Structure 1
Amino acid sequence: MHFVEREPVMMAIGGRLLSDAGQGLDVMVIDVAVMDGDWRREVRAEVIERILAALARACGLPEPSPAWWVDFRVIEEGSWAAGGGVLSVLSLLESGVFTEEKAKAIRAGIGA
């Protein structure tokens, strides 16, 4: 996850700059990048909702701010690298990190 705070003059809701709204909102973009896998629409929605709820709890707020945006990106298999090499979700499937059912869903999701 990558958190980026933005000034209210850099974002708008409904065509109105947040700086003009006078609400004193904290503006934030949360960028979630994940390896290819079983990321059906309902799974992505649940992840986004949990992130926003956890962030609200961490900030002591009753609910997420309307000025928080979440961008959920799936990085295609073979397009993720770290430590000088390309990473693959396929190598994780045999590691025992995932249940067999989840591993099957991931394989189906990426066509492996």
Structure 2
Amino acid sequence: MLPGTRALRTFEAAARHLNFTRAADEVGLTPAAVSYQIKEIEEQLGLVLFVRTSRSIQLTAAGAVLFEATVDALARCNARSAARAAWNAARAGCAYRSAPDSPATGCCRGWRGSMPRIQICN
């Protein structure tokens, strides 16, 4: 069984911060819940993802590989979600601009000329 999106987001935050407390703040969980989710992922995959000491955590080689794959997978999910939201908004007659670095922003630029009846909303 593969980890779910929520667990992967938790893993990504923990791996990026190398700190369960900061990851917990980011994803809205307790540090104990982050630790539990990481243990669940490790058990599901049969891999040790972090080396834990009393004061810190470090990624293992397997953890580093999963971190890179997770960052890529989550970026693709976010891009597809933004594109889907832009498509749904266009079908409703209004395209919403997202963050300046969002993939959906590039999509909206081309719509102004090709779909003049669609309003670009903030």
* Both proteins in one fold, TM over 0.5: no
Q: Relative to total residues, which structure has the larger helix share, 1 or 2?
A: 2
Q: Relative to total residues, which structure has the larger strand share, 1 or 2?
A: 1
TM-score, length basis structure 1: 0.26
Q: Which has the higher contact order (CA 8 A, sep 6+)?
A: 1
TM-score, length basis structure 2: 0.24
Name which one, 1 or 2, has greater alpha-carbon Rg.
2
